[in-house]
C-alpha cells in the first residue's frame, strides 16, 4: 500500500494557508503558472556552466531558458545597459555570500545595518559564520524628531559617514529586513564610493516595489548607484523561492583601484576582470556551486513576465497596481493597529510595518494567540530593544501575501482591530476566530 503521509501533509498545509490570514512580511502567493514550472521536468536536467559552455550534453533548451530569464530580469529593472544578472543563485543569503566571495579577501571589513535595528541575518551579525573570514562593522538608525506621536527611526547618515571614515570597509551593504522606511540609495552609494568602498544593495524585501517604480532604485551607471544588487524572488516580487544577483557589466573607473592587485582576483584568474558580473559568475560556477536548478529559473522567468505585463496573475491586476495596493493595505493596517492601542515604530513607507507592545505583553505568547485564531505573524525586535530576540518587544506585519489574495484597505482596518483586541484580551477566542473566518471568506485562493 502506498504511504499517503506526504499527500496528506500537503493537503493539510494547503488548507492551513487557505484558511488563515498570512501577515509574514517575506511571504507571498505565486501564480499557479509559477508553481507549474517549479514542479516541471526542468528539474530533471543537469547543466553545470553557463549558456553556450556547459559540461553536459542536452542543454540546447536550458541555454535558451537561462538567456531568456536573464533578459527578462534585466528588462524588469531597465538595467541591461549597465548590469548583467546571475539567475543560478539558489536563495537570498547564499546570493549575498556569492558577492562576498567575489570581491573580498579574508580579513576585509563589511559594513551593514545593525541586525537588531532592522538589518538582515545574512549581512553578518555576532554569531555569523562569515565572521571567520570577514570583520563586521554596523551602521545604525537614530530617532528623528517630528510631530507624530509615534517613534520614527531612520538611517543615521552621520553615523554611516563616520563609520566609513573610521573603518574603511571594503564592502558596504545597503539593505534591511525590518526597516519600514525608504532607503535613499543614491546618497548612501555615493558616500560609500567616495570613501573607497564597494556597494551591495540587498533589495530582497522591496524588489517588487522597485520594479513597480514605487521605491527608489539602486540601479545606475555612476557613483550614486550600487555595484551589486541582490534579491530574492518571492516577497514583493511574488515569484518562487529563489534569488538573483545583478552586477555591473564593466568595472567603472572609480572602482578600478580595487582590482589592480592580482591578490584581489579570484582563484585561477590569469588576467584582470573586465566586469563585476564576471566575478559573480565565476564565484557561482565553478567557484562554489554545481548545476543550476532550471525549474526554479523557469519559475523566476514566469513571474518576470507577470511583472512586465507579458502574462498575468490570476486576478488580472497589473503589477504596479498590485504593488500600490500592497502599500495601501499596509498603511491601513498600521493606522488601525495604532488607533486600537498599539504603538507604531517608524511609520511605514513600504510593504511592512512594525509595532511595539506594552512592557507587560509577551510577544511570543501574543504570536501564539494570534496563530490560534488564524492570524500568522512574527514577533520582531524594535530599534534599541532591551528584550531578547526570542521574546522581543515588537511584532512585524506585511501585506504582500494577503493583497495577492484580494485584501482591501477596509479588510486591513478590520484585521488591525482584531489583532489589537487579541493582544489586549478584549475578545474571546471564538469571537476572534469568527471575525478571521469572515475575512478569509472574502479572499481568493488560487490553488
- The pLDDT assigned to 115 comes to 83
Known active-site residue 403 = no
- Any idea which residue has 590569469 for its cell? 270
Whether 147 is a known active-site residue: answer no
Contacts (Cβ under 8 Å, ≥6 apart) of 147: none
How many Å is the maximal CA-CA distance in the chain? 70
Confidence bin at 203 (pLDDT 50/70/90): very high
Mean pLDDT of the chain: 95
pLDDT of residue 146: 58
- From the candidates 140, 202, 278, 306, which is the catalytic residue? 202
Least confident of 31-40, 185-194, 226-235, 253-262: 253-262
Helices (H), 263-399: 276-282, 294-308, 319-339, 363-372
Known catalytic membership, residue 356: no
Identified catalytic residue from 33, 46, 315, 433? 46
Judge residue 153's burial from the number of C-beta atoms within 10 Å of its C-beta, 0-12 exposed, 13-18 middle, 19 or more buried: buried
The pLDDT, as a whole number, for residue 147 is 54
Cell numbers found for residue 223: 557613483
Calculate helix-pair angle for 409-423, 319-339, nearest 10 degrees: 30
Q: Is 202 a catalytic residue?
A: yes
Active site residue 396: no
Catalytic residue among 62, 152, 232, 236, which? 232
Q: Indicate the helix (H) or strand (E) that contains 395.
A: strand 394-398
Q: Are 164 and 193 in contact (CB under 8 A)?
A: no
Residue 198: strand pairing partners = 171
Decide: 105 and 172 in contact? Cβ < 8 Å: no
**Per annotation, catalytic residue among 45, 54, 235, 405:** 235
For the stretch 321-363, pLDDT in tens is 999 999 999 999 999 999 999 999 999 999 999 999 999 999 9
Question: Catalytic one among 48, 75, 312, 318?
Answer: 48
Active site residue 46: yes
State residue 230's pLDDT score.
97
Domains within the chain, CATH numbers bracketed: 20-30+316-442 (3.90.1150.10), 35-308 (3.40.640.10)
**Looking at 54, 163, 238, 241, which residue is catalytic?**
241
Amino acid at each position: 500500500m502506498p504511504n499517503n503521509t506526504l499527500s496528506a501533509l500537503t493537503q493539510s498545509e494547503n488548507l492551513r494557508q487557505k484558511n488563515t490570514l498570512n501577515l509574514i512580511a517575506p511571504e507571498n502567493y505565486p501564480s499557479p503558472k509559477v508553481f507549474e514550472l517549479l514542479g516541471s521536468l526542468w528539474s530533471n536536467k543537469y547543466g553545470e556552466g553557463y549558456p553556450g559552455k556547459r559540461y553536459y550534453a542536452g542543454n540546447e533548451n536550458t541555454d535558451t531558458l537561462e538567456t531568456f530569464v536573464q533578459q527578462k530580469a534585466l528588462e524588469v529593472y531597465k538595467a541591461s545597459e549597465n548590469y548583467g544578472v546571475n539567475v543560478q543563485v539558489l536563495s537570498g543569503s547564499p546570493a549575498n555570500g556569492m558577492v562576498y566571495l567575489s570581491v573580498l579577501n579574508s580579513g576585509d571589513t563589511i559594513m551593514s545595518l545593525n541586525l537588531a535595528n532592522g538589518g538582515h541575518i545574512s549581512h553578518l551579525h555576532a554569531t555569523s559564520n562569515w565572521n571567520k573570514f570577514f570583520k563586521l562593522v554596523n551602521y545604525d538608525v537614530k530617532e528623528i524628531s517630528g510631530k507624530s506621536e509615534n517613534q520614527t527611526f531612520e538611517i543615521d547618515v552621520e553615523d554611516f559617514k563616520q563609520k566609513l571614515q573610521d573603518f574603511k570597509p571594503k564592502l558596504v551593504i545597503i539593505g534591511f529586513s525590518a526597516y519600514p522606511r525608504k532607503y535613499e540609495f543614491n546618497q548612501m552609494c555615493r558616500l560609500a564610493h567616495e570613501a573607497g568602498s564597494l556597494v551591495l544593495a540587498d533589495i530582497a524585501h522591496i524588489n517588487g516595489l522597485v520594479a513597480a517604480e514605487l521605491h527608489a532604485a539602486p540601479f545606475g551607471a555612476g557613483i550614486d548607484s550600487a555595484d551589486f544588487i541582490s534579491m530574492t524572488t518571492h516577497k514583493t516580487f511574488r515569484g518562487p523561492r529563489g534569488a538573483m544577483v545583478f552586477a555591473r557589466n564593466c568595472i567603472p573607473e572609480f572602482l578600478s583601484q580595487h582590482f589592480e592587485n592580482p591578490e584581489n582576483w579570484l582563484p585561477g584568474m590569469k588576467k584582470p576582470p573586465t566586469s563585476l558580473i564576471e566575478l559573480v559568475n565565476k564565484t557561482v560556477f565553478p567557484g562554489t556551486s554545481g548545476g543550476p536548478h532550471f525549474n526554479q529559473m523557469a519559475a523566476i522567468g514566469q513571474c518576470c513576465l507577470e511583472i512586465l505585463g507579458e502574462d498575468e496573475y490570476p486576478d488580472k491586476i497589473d503589477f504596479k497596481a498590485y504593488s500600490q495596493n500592497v502599500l495601501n493595505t499596509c498603511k491601513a493596517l498600521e493606522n488601525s493597529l495604532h488607533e486600537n492601542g498599539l504603538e507604531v515604530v517608524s511609520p511605514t513607507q513600504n510593504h511592512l510595518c512594525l509595532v511595539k507592545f506594552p512592557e507587560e505583553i509577551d510577544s511570543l505568547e501574543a504570536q501564539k494567540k494570534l496563530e490560534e485564531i488564524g492570524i500568522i505573524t512574527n514577533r520582531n525586535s524594535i530599534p534599541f530593544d532591551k528584550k531578547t530576540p526570542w521574546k522581543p518587544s515588537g511584532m512585524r506585519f506585511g501585506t504582500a501575501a494577503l493583497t495577492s489574495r484580494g485584501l482591501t484597505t477596509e479588510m486591513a482596518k478590520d484585521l488591525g482591530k482584531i489583532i489589537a483586541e487579541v493582544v489586549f484580551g478584549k475578545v474571546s477566542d471564538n469571537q476572534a476566530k469568527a471575525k478571521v473566518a469572515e475575512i478569509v471568506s472574502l479572499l481568493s485562493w488560487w490553488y
